Amino acid sequence: MSLDERSHPHIPPHIPQPGTVGRLPVVQRDRAVDGLRALALLAVPTGHWLVGGFVRDPDSSLHNASPLSTFAPLAPITWVLQMLGIFFLVGGYASVLSFRRATGRGTTPGDWLRGRLARLLRPAVGVTAVWAVLATALYAAGVPLTTLHTAATLVVQPLWFVGVYAVATALTPYCMAASRRLGGWAAAPLAAVVAVVDFLRYGPYADSVPYWATLISLVPGWLFGYQLGVCWGEKRLGRRGARLLLAGGAVLFAALLLVFHYPASLVGVPGQDRTNSHPPSLLVIALAAAQSGAAILLRDRIAALLRRPALWAPVTAVNRSAMTILCWHQTAMLAVVVPAAFAGTTVEGLTTAPDFAAWMATRLPWLPLFAVVLALVARVARRLELPWTGVSRGQRVCAGVLAVGFAAFALRLTVV
DSSP letters spanning 277-326:
BTTB-HHHHHHHHHHHHHHHHTHHHHHHHTTSHHHHHHHHHHHHTHHHHH
In sequence order, the 6+-apart residues with CB closer than 8 A to the CB of 268 are 275, 277, 278
Beta bridge partners of 24: 21
**pLDDT value for 270:** 74
CA 121 vs. chain centroid, Å, equals: 14
| pLDDT confidence of residue 413 | 63
Q: Is residue 210 reached through a cis peptide bond, with omega within 30 degrees of 0 on the bond before it?
A: no
- Distance of alpha carbon 48 from alpha carbon 267, whole angstroms: 10
Residue 367, pLDDT score? 96
Contact status, residue 339 vs residue 52, Cβ threshold 8 Å: no
pLDDT of residue 203: 86
Spatial distance between the Cα atoms of 183 and 63, rounded to a whole number of angstroms: 47
261 burial via Cβ count (<10 Å: 0-12, 13-18, 19+): exposed
Burial of 85 (0-12, 13-18, 19+ CB in 10 A): buried
pLDDT tens, residue order, the chain (416 aa): 444 444 343 334 333 443 444 443 445 678 999 999 999 999 999 999 998 889 888 888 899 888 888 888 889 999 999 999 999 999 999 999 999 999 999 999 999 999 999 999 999 999 999 999 999 999 999 999 999 999 999 999 889 889 999 999 999 999 999 999 999 999 999 999 999 999 999 888 888 888 888 899 999 999 999 999 999 999 999 999 999 999 999 999 999 999 999 999 998 887 777 889 889 999 999 999 999 999 999 999 999 999 999 999 999 999 999 999 999 999 999 999 999 888 777 889 898 888 887 888 899 999 999 999 999 999 999 988 888 888 888 999 999 999 999 999 998 864 43
Q: Are strands 53-56 and 24-27 parallel, antiparallel or unpaired?
A: unpaired
What percentage of the chain has pLDDT greater than the value 90?
70
Domain extents in the chain: 43-410
Taking only the tens place, the pLDDT of each residue in 262-282 is: 999 998 887 777 889 889 999
Transcribe 120-143 into DSSP letters.
HHHHHHHHHHHHHHHHHHHHHTT-
pLDDT reported for residue 1: 41
CA distances from 355 to 54, 65, 69, 72 (A): 10, 9, 8, 12
